Amino acid sequence: MVDGVTVLLPQGGGGPRLSDIAGQASVSEATVSRVLNGRPGVADTTRQRVLAALDTLGQERPGRPRQRTEGLIGLVTPELTNPVFPAFAQAVEQVLAGHGYTPVLCTQLPGGATEDELVEQLVERGVGGIVFLSGLHADTSADPARYAALAARGVPYVLINGYNERVSAPFVSADDHAAVRMAVSHLAELGHRRIGLAIGPQRYVPSRRKREGFLDAAVGLLGLAWSEAEELVCSTLFSVEGGQVAAGTLLGRGCTGVVCGSDLMALGVVRAARERGLDVPRDLSVVGYDDSQLIAFTDPPLTTVRQPVRAMAAAAVGALLEEIAGSPVQRTEYVFQPELVVRGSTAGSPASRRPASRAHTSHPTDHFRSTRETKGTTSTNSTTRKGP
């Protein structure tokens, strides 16, 4: 036992002892111990003397030290201004910590390091794997070859939200199609017939899926023609300002209810309505998406569709750890069902005049669940999807 580390060297048969190596290199036994175990705190010149002493004494040099890097897992996220991303990061970190791994959080900032640069830094640090959250894999305009190159370097990874059939890896996603359909169904049950969709740029897979879900629901539940439903979709940015812009367009088209691609967009819609002298939910009903932590405390408390963040994080980490252990999981998409949380931003349409249908009443259909905030949440199930 030297310097708190047990160092095993050949016993007998003329094999060098720790003191022999220390004497040959003119260093202490503690320094030899640190070099053999790959520990920091040794100057490069001193480390080289110890390695040269090993060569002189016929002792095999230690391999690349791995103790410091095997427990690291990279987590690459977009900017953290959208509160759902910190929620995912925290959930992933908690699951990793439970398995003895240390997460290395890499956040993309405007004007900062790109996803590729962050990945290169993680690989240089020797991470055991990487979790990508809403990264370039979700952008249909991005080149997916970067992920194949990462796999070729022997770095396992898993991707959350944004299935890409051109990337061979485990994906974990919320069912965007079902999320929008249940939001439209909720508003339709409240008497709304002119319902709009505010979403982000169409190059992103979640936006495309939400659009598809909305068009199917508008045609199937509201009886609209496909072309008429398309006029009720407004693509801007996944931000408060983006929601504000979308609201101006959709209100101009006579919408009394708006389904949003994120909670931040929903807050922008509420702001735009108030700027026009409208009351939410009396004049306009708004449904968000994500259900980040503080959304229940907005004014009014936001009705939203909740992503099962913890369940998705656990599935993503589980798949990655299987990859690291050498037991690859199926290269497919594991789809988790969201749930509607009814609060105070939705009510009966102005035309229906049904005050009893205000925020504390939910109207589940045969196909979708609605969760009342006062009753807690229900369990979340997952399915497997192989296509986009």
The 10s digit of each residue's pLDDT in 167-188 is: 999 999 999 999 999 999 999 9
Mean pLDDT for 22-34 is 86
Tell which residue, 209, 208, 146, has the closest CA to residue 177. Answer: 209
Task: Please state the φ and ψ torsions of residue 268, each to the nearest 5 degrees.
Answer: -65, -35
Which residue has better confidence, 62 or 260?
A: 260
Q: What is the pLDDT of residue 14?
A: 52
Determine contact, residues 76/162, Cβ cutoff 8 Å.
no
Distance CA 143, CA 364 (A): 41
Distance CA 76, CA 129 (A): 11
Distance CA 119, CA 130 (A): 8
H helical segments located in the chain: 18-25, 29-36, 44-56, 84-98, 115-124, 145-152, 176-189, 205-220, 226-230, 240-252, 263-275, 309-324
Query: Residue for token digits 């009966």?
Result: 348
- In this predicted model, what pLDDT tens digit does every residue of 115-167 receive, in sequence order? 999 999 999 989 999 999 999 999 999 999 999 999 999 999 999 999 999 99
Q: What is the pLDDT of residue 15?
A: 59
| pLDDT of residue 357 exceeding 90 | no
- In this predicted model, what pLDDT tens digit does every residue of 201-231 receive, in sequence order? 999 999 999 999 999 999 999 999 999 999 9
- In this predicted model, what pLDDT tens digit does every residue of 317-340 receive, in sequence order? 999 999 998 888 889 999 999 999
Distance CA 292, CA 265 (A): 13
Task: Please state the φ and ψ torsions of residue 96, each to the nearest 5 degrees.
Answer: -60, -45
Which residue has better confidence, 365 or 98?
A: 98
| pLDDT of residue 239 exceeding 90 | yes
Which residue has better confidence, 187 or 51?
A: 187
* DSSP-derived pairing of the beta strands 339-342 and 303-306: antiparallel
Q: What is the pLDDT of residue 378?
A: 35
Evaluate if pTM is beyond 0.85: no
Tell which residue, 208, 206, 148, 216, has the closest CA to residue 182. Answer: 216
